[in-house]
Amino acid sequence: MTEVSLKPAAAAFEPAPACLVVMHPGAIALDSYEPLRARLAARFSTIVFDIQKVPEYRESVITGSAVDVSLAEIALRFKERSLHEVADVPYAVLGWSFGGVVACALAEAMPADRKPRGVFVLDTIAPGNGSSFGDTLPDREALDWFAMYFGANRGRDLKLSPADFTGVSLEDGLGLVLDRSIATGALTPGTTVHGLRKVFTAFVDGMRRNKQLHDAYHPDRFQVPITLVRPSRGLFDELASLGWDEVAKDEIHTLHCGGDHYTMLRDEQSVEAIARAVEATVLGG
């Protein structure tokens, strides 16, 4: 049904005194969490659950159909494995992007005596808030986010911003991303817009798929402490607190760090700031 990527602390046969459970939504590579795992390794084991391993979610990715499972049900698929992995140690749950909402749903599903000491949501928009895009994503936002995503996955900063796509058609916008990708070495000369459009379409389909799950999820106020981590450049920078103050029981803590939505887990300053916050939340001090 699901798979777990377990990367234990450095001591091979000695259990770590704490644990970090990560809900991974795809879009970035699994090894994106490696800098954080390595930073925490002395005192934490890090467990990465891949949401894309849920059969109904994976089927939607393959066929392009609507996701035939709810966000709350996805979280429940990981409950028993989480209870097994965290055993009796204190722990926190972390989720990047859409994974942050699943992380909160998992925390709520855990028994009262085994709740995490905190949930970290990394540039995640809160459930119930969402955007006003409906079922479509405006070309400007789609192109801007795609450029950020594509550059991050190719290890290049394309240095494009929303202003570059204002009033630009989808075709011209993809042409701009292509030109900048070739100029920065993210793509080789001769790559066509047609090829890039296939990647863009898959990217937008993924955004819509997660939005479907996000918009259908209407939880009560979350009882666990929530820390919102915001990079230097996120997807919804114009939204104060990304709506988390409306769904959290207690006041949320906001942590500002470097990088953008897709590179924040590889930014050294971000990793250090997140690691320190996780340590303080789970272990105190």
Alpha carbon distance 128, 135 (integer Å): 15
The residue among 141, 143, 135 whose CA lies nearest residue 196 is 143
User: Are residues 21 and 148 both part of a single domain?
Assistant: no
Say whether both 48 and 123 belong to one domain.
Answer: yes
Does one domain contain both 77 and 193? Answer: no
Residue 74 pLDDT grade (very low, low, confident, very high; cuts 50, 70, 90):
very high
pLDDT greater than 70 at residue 243: yes
Residue 228 is predicted with a pLDDT of: 97
> CA dihedral in degrees (60, 64, 66, 72; nearest 10)?
30
Residue 3 clears pLDDT 60, i.e. is over it: no
Same domain, 174 and 48: no
Q: Which amino acid is at 114?
A: R
Identify whether residues 66 and 201 lie together within a single domain: no
pLDDT at 14: 62
Same domain, 92 and 172: no
pLDDT at 204: 93
Query: Which among 198, 202, 201, 165 is positioned nearest to 180, based on CA atoms?
Result: 165
pLDDT of residue 11: 44
- State which of 177, 207, 237 marks the end of a domain: 207
pLDDT-derived band at 187 (thresholds 50, 70, 90) equals very high
Q: 237 and 193, same structural domain?
A: no
237 and 110 within one domain: yes
Same domain, yes or no: 180 and 235: no
Per the structure, the complete domain to which residue 158 belongs is given by 139-207
134 is a domain residue: no
Question: What CATH number should be reported for the domain holding residue 24?
Answer: 3.40.50.1820
Distance CA 22, CA 253 (A): 19
Range from 5-19, 60-74, 167-181 carrying the lowest mean pLDDT: 5-19
**248 pairs with which residues across the strands?**
222
- Residue 65's pLDDT is 84
Res. 128: pLDDT tops 80: no
In a domain, 163, yes or no: yes
Residue 110 lies in a domain: yes
- Whether 9 and 100 share a structural domain: yes
- Residue 212 domain-assigned? no
Convert the pLDDT of each residue in 30-53 to its tens digit: 999 999 999 999 999 999 999 999
> Which tokens is 97 given?
């992007």
Q: Kindly report the average pLDDT of the chain as a whole number.
A: 90
Q: Which of 179, 207, 235 is the last residue of a domain?
A: 207
How far is 157 from 195, CA to CA, in rounded Å?
A: 20
The DSSP string of 83-143 is: HHHHTTS-EEEEEETTHHHHHHHHHHHS-GGG--S-EEEES-PPTTT--S-TT---HHHHH
- Domain assignment present for residue 44? The answer is yes
Residues 121, 232, single domain; the answer is: yes
Number of domains in the chain: 2
Backbone phi, psi, residue 226, to 5°: -120, 130
Checking if the pLDDT of 5 tops 50, the result is no
Residues 105 and 242 in one domain: yes
Q: What is the pLDDT of residue 238?
A: 87
Domain boundary among 207, 241, 262: 207
Q: What is the largest CA-CA distance in the chain?
A: 58
